[in-house]
Structure formats: structure tokens, C-alpha cells
Amino acid sequence: MIAAEDLIALVRNYNPRTNADLISAAFDYGREMHEGQFRKSGEPYFTHPVAVAAILTEQQLDDATIVTALLHDTIEDTRSTYSEVQARFGTEIADLVDGVTKLTNLQLASSETKQAENFRKLFMAMSRDLRVILVKLADRLHNMRTIRAMKPDKQVQKARETMEIYAPLAGRMGMQWMRDELEDLSFRVLNPEGRTSIMRRFITLQKEAGDVIHRITSDMIHELEKVGIEAEVFGRAKKPYSIWRKMQEKQIGFSRLSDIYGFRVITRTEAECYAALGAIHQRWRAVPGRFKDYISQPKSNGYRSIHTTVSGRDGKRVEVQIRTRQMHDVAETGVAAHWSYRDGVRSENPFAVDPAKWIASLTEQFDGEDDHHEFMEAVKLEMYSDQVFCFTPKGDVVKLPKGATPLDYAYQIHTRIGSACVGAKVDGIRVPLWTRLKNGQSVEIITAEGQTPQATWLDIARTGKAKTAIRRALREANKERYARLGHELARSAFESVGKKATDKVLEKAASRLRLEDAETLLARLGSAELSARAVVEAVYPDLAPRDTAEVELKRAVLGLAHGQGFERARCCQPLPGERIVGITHRGQGVMVHAIDCAALAAVEDQPDRWLDLHWAEGSHPPVYTVSLDLTIGNDAGVLGRICTLIGERKANISDLQFVDRKPDFYRLLMDVDLRNAEHLHSVVSALDAESNVASVDRRRMPDLAAPDDTAAAAE
Ligand code: MN
């Protein structure tokens, strides 16, 4: 195993100002934590984190990354904790180690490629800091280099994962050498015969054609010298895996595969790149369609190079990449170049991309938010920022659009879970349903029997799936309620003209109004699309009450003795159109209650105090106050819309009182002056239809009337 001093020396090579004490402390702490643990190979476990750190020194990474590598398995596999790492090494390193731990805990559910792409996205999204991915990639590289110690089936699983997830990830981050090595190590495990046969072909080829690489290299150097370009030229046979892939893609055999060699020309200046290109194209024939200029149009990860393929007289093709030394460094290290040190200072390579800018370029299409600046400031990775990845308590990944709430998550799991949702816990803490979920959070949904989707949920849900399910449930619930209300309205409307709303009568009304059946009629009536008067008129045109027959308030109630005053009971607030009963009070006249008022129980045993009363027929002035109990969303303007709705229905709000202000909901009591039950119904229906109204109930307050009646009963 590499000793602490050796590791520090490796870092000091490129960063003389390294914090040797910090690295040494991390080394000691990591070794202590992993004490007694061993790798499959039998070596002490700590050799692994040290090897990972050494790999990262090759990329000349900063101290925080090296220390993270030394500690990357402590939180996961030892008694160490986040807070302890934080206390000893600071928040930056604790967060990095925590990030690596989270990535380690992700399990690839299936090996399907589609899933792999999602997984790669998840991986990126999860890592708020790119250094987390750099450590994870080095971790995987070391594990792949030492994979032979594992059981064969485990080897295959790891190799497949590496091929699908880690190698493309390394490529995407611009670390070509790492991609190549990861692919080759996986290829050895997944298809040893394929790899061996390609290696064997190389040897045969070399015997036939001699040292092709050496010959072409000298030729190239010669051509470049002729035009005064001093350049380094490197040639190499392509990696067995990339040859094998090409054979698979093109369905051709090795003998017909022409460009198996690649050459790199490293020049001193950018101008020399183009001059070199000219010289090479003059000497060899360029293969059409293979030229790419990534110098004038660099890749988003900072990659710059000129690519071309040329063929010699024998028809053999070779690929040539031309770039400067600085461009070459970026091509090898990719985005990691940002953290690289040269002679003790962060490298000043003009081509190294700022990871924040790189990420921004990838996310530009999703970004339009005002936090863009902040996003650029912090070197945070929010790739695929149109998506949020959360976890179930079991650790499964749930993909949601940005801005999604626990409600969306619940519906994503199952419509049944969504419908029964009463609350949510995020990372173990209870949160309101409108909370926006963030990457990597684990979400638990609390459900309750009897819960049904609420209208306000439409404003909380972001996904189409949740909204559709909520709307459907609300429609179903409304249909039922409307039919019930419609039935009640029809009953009282017919009763008010001395008739009964029998099935037969209702069917007749339906057919005269050209409606499908009585059920449709009741639903329309209930949803206030149809007035009760119109229904009565359809069957009894002559009996329908006249609009113009204004009844004086005094004479609103029939059945009272001459001069007897009356008062509407505050407990039940009966409305014209509802069945009523009068209770006499000594010296106070008559209290008018709804027939189903709970307060009547108190006078049940005094039948002589009961009076049969009826509302006068015809239209009443809007003077009957009813208290409504409303729960509304707290969005701006909701209250205004509600007042408008009520005003439009010619009802007057006489009092308004907030009883409960929760962050997401307001509960309020609203007194509305109305003409009759039908009027009330039209107001309630309108409120119900407003998506920001979670619930609207008529308030019954039996306690309000009880003292008076109880006192009377006690006499
Ligand atoms: Mn590890």
C-alpha cells in the first residue's frame, strides 16, 4: 500500500502548496475507521481508498477531492458519521463524502439501456458537485482494475454496470482515457473471447505489415517538418472494445475494418493545427465525410481538436486528431481540468471549461429561472434540471418533473395512494403537500381511509397524471352530490306548489325539458344548470310561482297567529324552500327552525310549543343570512374571486371572518344573505366549481339556539 508520505508527495508534485496535514489526518482517520476490514483479495480494505486517491492525483485534483477519496467509504461502511467527518474535515469534505455515499447506495434496478440512461441522469442530478462524480468514477476504475478477486457473477454484474453507466459518464465528462479503460476492463469480463480474438488479429496483422504505427508516425513527422511544424505524433491501435463495437455496428469482419489505428498530432499553436492539417491532406487522401473541426466549434465539455481520416496508397485508413498541448490536456481530463493544479496554482488552461458553465450549457434549454446567476456562481450540478429524482422508503427511484409536489409523487406511485393521501414526510420530516420536491429526497406518503381528492389539489399537483386523476374523482363525487342536492331541490320546489316530486313527475319534466332521463334532470338541477322553477313549470305551467309575486317579509311565514312575531333560529338558519317548524317562546314570539335542526331535541317533549309553519310561496327578498364554512387555498386573489362569484349570483356577503390560517389553506366563516334554498344552492355550486375552494359547508350551530330553548324547557 502507498504510504501517507508517498501520497502527499504525489500531490505535492503538482500542488506544492498542498495541505499535507489535512491529507495526513484523513489518511490516519480512514485507516483507523477501516481497521479490521478486508477486500475480497485479502488485502486490508484501506488499500482501496488510497488507490482511489492515487488515481485522482493523476488528474491533479485539489486537496478536498483527494481527502474525499480517502474517506469515500467511511460513512457507508464504518462507524464514522457525517457529523464526525464534518467536525474533523469541514462541511465541504463532509458533503463530498456524503455525495459519494449517496451514489454508492443507488442500485440499478434493471440492466435495460433505457433505465441506464435514466440512471446516468440521476447520477448527475444527485451530485451537486462534480467532484463527487470524479471520486465515484475513480472508485469504480479501481474496483474494475481489481475485479478478478470477485465471484464470476458479481464480476459480470459490475462490468455491465460499468459499460452502461460509468464509461459513458466518463466520456460525457470529457475523460476519454478513463472511458477507454473502463470499457476495456468491462469488455475483458463480458466478452473475453471477443477481446482475445481481436488481440490475436493485431498480432497477425503486425506480422504481415510490420510496425505500421512506427512507419506512419515517422512519415507524418517528416511531412510536418517539411512545412516547418515541430509537432509530437503519437500512434496507437484502437482499443479492442472500440474495434469490436465497430465490427458489430457495421456488421463487418476484422479484415475489412480499415481504420484500426489512430494518430494524434500535438502542435504548439492553434495556427499550426490547421497548417498540420493541410500538410497531412496534401500527403494522404482525405476520406470524405470524416472531417470535423472541434477547434472552431468546441464541444460543450471543452473538447477541442481537428478530426480527419486519411487513406494511404494501400487503401488503409487512419484517423488523425490534431490539437495543441493545452487542448490535449483538456481532452484527457475533461471537466476535471477545472480543479487541476499546475505548479501550485489552479491550472490556467484557457480551454478548461468552468464546470458551472458547462452544466449551464447543458441545461440552458431547461433554465429560464431567475436563480440562473446563483446557479452559475455555485459550482453545483443540476443537470437535467427539468427533472427531479426522489426515492421511495424502499429506495426505488421515482422520476418527476421539476416543481413536483408530494401529491404528484403519490399519484406517480399509484392513483390509490394519491387519492388517499393526507400528508407526506420528506427525509422523515412532515411537510405540507404543496412542498416542492428536490433531487435525492426520500418521500413517504401518509394515507388514510376515507380520504378523497380535494378541489384544491388541482393547484398543488403539477403532473398531468395527478391532475387527471383528481379531476376524475371530483367529477364522480360531484355527480353524486349534485344528484342528491337536485333531488332535495326538486322535492321542495314541488312541495312549495302543493305537489309531489314522484319519479313519474320527474320523468315527465325530464322529457319536456328534452333531457335524457330523471337522473340527468336531477344532476342538472343539483349543479344549478337548471332552476327548480323551470322544472316545476315544465310539469305544472300554471302552478309555478310568479317572479313578480313579491311577498312581504312579515308575511313570509304562514301558520302564525295574527300579530305573532317570528325569528329565524340562528342555529339552523332556515331558508325559504326548506321545511320549517315554529317553537313558541313565552314573550318572545316564535323561533323558526329547520325541521331537521338538532336543537329541536331539547323541546321534543313539549308538543304544545310546536307550530306547523310554511314559507310563503313566491319570491323572497335576499335577507336570509346563512353562515358558510369555507376552506380555500391561500393563493393570491382567491378571496377576490370568491366575492365576485357570490356577487354575480346577487347574494350579499354580510360578514367575513378568518378562523384558521394555515400556510396552504385558509378557513373562513362567511355570512351570506340569500333569498331561498335555491339561491343558496346556486351560490354553493358556484363556490364548489372554483378550484381554489377546498370545501364549502353550511354551518350548523345547535349550541347557538340551545340556551334559550333549554331555558324554556326547564320552565
Ligand atoms: Mn469504494
3-state helix, strand, coil in the chain (%, to 5): 50, 15, 35
Nearest Cα neighbor of 462 from 385, 410, 391 is 410
Q: Which residue has the cell 350548523?
A: 700
Residue 15 CA to ligand 1 centre (angstroms): 25
Residue 64 CA to ligand 1 centre (angstroms): 17
Q: What is the CATH number of the domain that holds 714?
A: 3.30.70.260
Cα separation of 10 and 25, whole Å?
16
Strand (E) or helix (H) holding 104: helix 91-105
Cα separation of 255 and 626, whole Å?
91
- Assess if residue 183 is contained within a domain: yes
Residues 164 and 259 in one domain: no
Residues 181 and 201 in one domain: no
Residue 93 CA to ligand 1 centre (angstroms): 16
Q: At 648, is the secondary structure helix, strand, or coil?
A: helix
Residues 222 and 141 in one domain: no
Last residue of a domain, one of 190, 212, 234: 190
DSSP H helical ranges for 174-255: 176-190, 192-209, 212-226, 240-250
Residue 391 CA to ligand 1 centre (angstroms): 22
Cα separation of 576 and 574, whole Å?
7
Cα separation of 577 and 676, whole Å?
6
Question: Catalytic site residue 77?
Answer: yes
Cα separation of 177 and 183, whole Å?
10
Residues 245 and 337 in one domain: yes
Q: What is the CATH number of the domain that holds 139?
A: 1.10.3210.10
Q: What is the CATH number of the domain that holds 294?
A: 3.30.460.10
Nearest Cα neighbor of 526 from 473, 496, 486, 559 is 486
First to last CA, the chain: 99
Which 8-state DSSP code applies to residue 129? S
Residues 77 and 169 in one domain: yes
Q: What single-letter amino acid sits at 35?
A: E
Cα separation of 385 and 404, whole Å?
12
Over residues 349-364, the pLDDT tens digits come to: 666 666 555 555 544 4
pLDDT given for residue 147 in this prediction: 93
Residue 54 CA to ligand 1 centre (angstroms): 13
pTM tops 0.85: no
- Would you say 271 and 229 are in contact if contact means Cβ atoms under 8 Å apart? no
CA 9 to each of CA 19, 62, 552: distance values in angstroms, whole numbers, following the listed order: 11, 14, 102
- Assess if residue 649 is contained within a domain: yes
Low-confidence ranges of the chain (pLDDT < 70): 106-128, 250-258, 313, 335-387, 395-396, 440, 481, 496, 527-529, 543-555, 563, 587-588, 635-637, 656, 658, 661, 663, 702-715
Cα separation of 526 and 94, whole Å?
61
- Assess if residue 700 is contained within a domain: yes
CA 481 to each of CA 164, 455, 469, 505, 565: distance values in angstroms, whole numbers, following the listed order: 54, 14, 18, 21, 36
Cα separation of 616 and 554, whole Å?
10
Residues 600 and 687 in one domain: yes
Residue 336 CA to ligand 1 centre (angstroms): 19
Residue 65 CA to ligand 1 centre (angstroms): 14
Residue 48 CA to ligand 1 centre (angstroms): 7
- Assess if residue 626 is contained within a domain: yes
Residue 226 CA to ligand 1 centre (angstroms): 51
Residues, CB-to-ion distance under 5 Å, ligand 1: 73, 139
Over residues 177-190, the pLDDT tens digits come to: 898 899 999 999 98
- Assess if residue 459 is contained within a domain: no
Residue 49 CA to ligand 1 centre (angstroms): 6
Last residue of a domain, one of 286, 316, 346: 346
Residues 118 and 241 in one domain: no
Last residue of a domain, one of 317, 346, 375: 346
Cα separation of 669 and 573, whole Å?
14
pLDDT given for residue 390 in this prediction: 78
Cα separation of 610 and 596, whole Å?
14
DSSP 519-578: HHHHHHHHTTSS-HHHHHHHH-TTTSPPTT-BPPGGGSEESPPTT--EEE-TTT---TTS
Residues 272 and 299 in one domain: yes
pLDDT given for residue 144 in this prediction: 96
Cα separation of 1 and 688, whole Å?
72
Residues 651 and 691 in one domain: yes
- Would you say 600 and 545 are in contact if contact means Cβ atoms under 8 Å apart? no
Residue 177 CA to ligand 1 centre (angstroms): 20
Catalytic residue among 76, 92, 181, 617: 76
Cα separation of 635 and 650, whole Å?
25
φ/ψ (deg, to 5) at 311: -125, 145
Q: What single-letter amino acid sits at 203?
A: I
CA 708 to each of CA 81, 594, 601: distance values in angstroms, whole numbers, following the listed order: 67, 16, 13
DSSP 235-257: EEEPPHHHHHHHHHHHT--GGG-
Residues 147 and 219 in one domain: no
Question: Catalytic site residue 76?
Answer: yes
Q: Helix/strand/coil (H, E, C) string of 264-324?
A: EEEECCHHHHHHHHHHHHHHCEECCCCCEECCCCCCCCCCCCEEEEEECCCCCEEEEEEEE
- Assess if residue 35 is contained within a domain: yes
Nearest Cα neighbor of 427 from 16, 102, 88, 141 is 102
Range of the domain at 697: 545-715
Residues 563 and 704 in one domain: yes
- Assess if residue 356 is contained within a domain: no
> In the chain, how many domains are there?
3
Return left, alpha or beta for 61; rule: phi > 0 is left, psi -120 to 50 is alpha, else beta. Answer: beta
Angle between helices 270-283 and 212-226 (to 10 degrees): 110
Catalytic residue among 43, 58, 77, 507: 77
Residues 152 and 297 in one domain: no
